[in-house]
Amino acid sequence: MIDPQSIKIVVIDDEADMLDNCARIIGKLGYKCTTVRDSATAAEIIGREMPSIILTDFAMPGLNGLDLLRIGKEINPDCMVILISGYATIPNVVEAMKEGAFDYLAKPFSAEQLKVALERAVRHKNLEEENRYLRTQLAQSHGMDNMLGSSLAMRKVFDTIRKVSVTDTNILIYGESGTGKELVARSIHMNSNRNGKPFVPVDCASLPENLLESELFGHEKGTFTGADTTRPGLLEFANSGTFFLDEIGEMGLNLQAKFLRVLQERQFRRVGGRKMIDIDIRLIAATNRNLEEGVGRGTFREDLYYRLNVISIKLPPLRDRVGDVPLLADHFLGEFVRSSRNGPTGISAEAMKLLEEYAWPGNVRELQNVVSRAVTLCSGEIINPEDLPEFIRTSTRLRTPAIQEGASFKESKKRWLVDFEKDYLSDLLARNGNNISRAAKEAGIDRKTIHRLLNKYKLDA
């Protein structure tokens, strides 16, 4: 939290009574206050004081509020500007809000209204400072780009990333959809000695096998209809860098055999080509499937599995990351508020409790979508339970598993997860009229994840 004594506020108005009243109210709140009656000297004082908050009248002789907003932001981009305006200047204030003003007060305003506006600005400053501190700490200690987490489970992941980044071995990342597998891969790349070289991601689930092969290896001119020119593959673009194969469990057996040869020989041929092309890549693969079970079923090559699984990183689902939901929710709130330059400045204890109790089948991606929706729909300064989706507010029954007497912890957890996924999926599709695209958007998961769950539980969409 920011110390109130560190908050400097500059008040600019050409009316002496207004300056005196504002200074008195601000002093009672414990903040430092400097008043300026002549707008022409305001720039000099802003530069000297470097205030956290500027409170300025809009209509004044000389420089107006919009001028002072621009000056203040140029001197200190982090300062919060609150405009004081009469009814006639409201359209101008709207323009100022678009240029970065934090808030405005319409004359006449009460001491309570001024207090609320200032406290809202200070809360926003607190949130910005906390997020900046967290990002700095994580960058210094772990170098984890855009990854947040203070839970024991995530600290173990960060430590593993730090250790494996300095090696050049193949890595296999396990995790449910939405847990951040690509973020982990990017963090490994950025902390490796290949960080100045390309990072090339490929989603194996998004393309049919013949197109995926052409994307990976490239093709020679005339190899197939439409191949009017020779085209290098993504492997060539990744040379000297990191190649990330997402959802490698979706790759067909024929293509698995070809990719195994690339890993063994560090060479490949374009589709339709004869020339061998040398390649130097660091491979990171990811999957939400159990590849070992795939080996047993014959859907995944055993030799490729052992080539990939030199070092494995298991990303925990959000429901197992104790204490991380508030951290992530506040982070996303700060990001959305900064991008829109307006919106709520916090999440109420009741709403945060609902977020912490929810099971998050869509993991971090779903939480991000829920916070984004709440920011859009919230009409007050704080996100409350009514700003959250109905399925968050009413999901208690999905979080209360029936415990079978004599069952082990592992068996009980597995049975509960099955029941939860089936119930959640049924409710999700029912709410969205069985429209898979809308359901995927609401849940913050991919369409292919919904199709996979439907097939897994033999449900009819």
pLDDT (tens place) for every residue of the chain, 461 residues total: 556 677 899 999 988 999 999 999 999 988 899 999 988 888 889 988 889 999 999 888 888 888 888 888 888 888 889 988 876 566 776 777 778 888 888 888 899 999 988 988 888 887 777 666 555 544 444 345 567 888 888 989 999 998 999 889 999 999 998 899 999 999 999 889 898 899 999 999 888 888 899 889 998 887 777 777 888 889 999 999 999 999 999 999 999 999 999 999 999 999 888 889 999 999 999 999 999 999 999 999 999 999 999 999 999 999 888 889 999 999 899 888 777 667 788 999 999 999 998 989 889 999 999 999 999 888 888 999 999 998 888 875 444 444 555 667 777 777 777 877 877 787 788 777 788 888 888 787 888 888 888 888 777 66
Angstrom CA distances, 157 to 148, 161, 267, 290, stand at: 11, 6, 32, 19
For 137, residues 6+ apart whose C-beta sits below 8 A from its C-beta are none
Q: Are 374 and 388 in contact (CB under 8 A)?
A: yes
Looking at residue 131, what is its pLDDT? 62
Q: Are 204 and 212 in contact (CB under 8 A)?
A: yes
Helices (H), 142-208: 152-165, 181-190
- Model confidence, pTM: 0.57
What distance in Å separates the CA atoms of residue 172 and residue 186, rounded to the nearest whole number?
A: 13
Looking at residue 140, what is its pLDDT? 45
What count of other Cβ atoms lies within 10 Å of the Cβ of residue 60? 21
Q: Dihedrals φ, ψ of 63, to 5°? A: -75, 135
What distance in Å separates the CA atoms of residue 126 and residue 118, rounded to the nearest whole number?
A: 12
For 186, residues 6+ apart whose C-beta sits below 8 A from its C-beta are 145, 199, 244
Tokens, residue 9: 């506020």
What distance in Å separates the CA atoms of residue 319 and residue 350, rounded to the nearest whole number?
A: 18
What count of other Cβ atoms lies within 10 Å of the Cβ of residue 226? 6
What is the longest distance spanned by two Cα atoms in the chain? 86
Looking at residue 274, what is its pLDDT? 87
Looking at residue 141, what is its pLDDT? 42
Tokens, residue 173: 């990342």
Closest to 246 (Cα-Cα) out of 277, 201, 215, 304: 201
Please report the domains of the chain, with CATH numbers, ordered by start residue: 4-121 (3.40.50.2300), 142-316 (3.40.50.300), 338-400 (1.10.8.60), 406-461 (1.10.10)
Helix, strand, or coil (residue 404): coil
Looking at residue 22, what is its pLDDT? 93
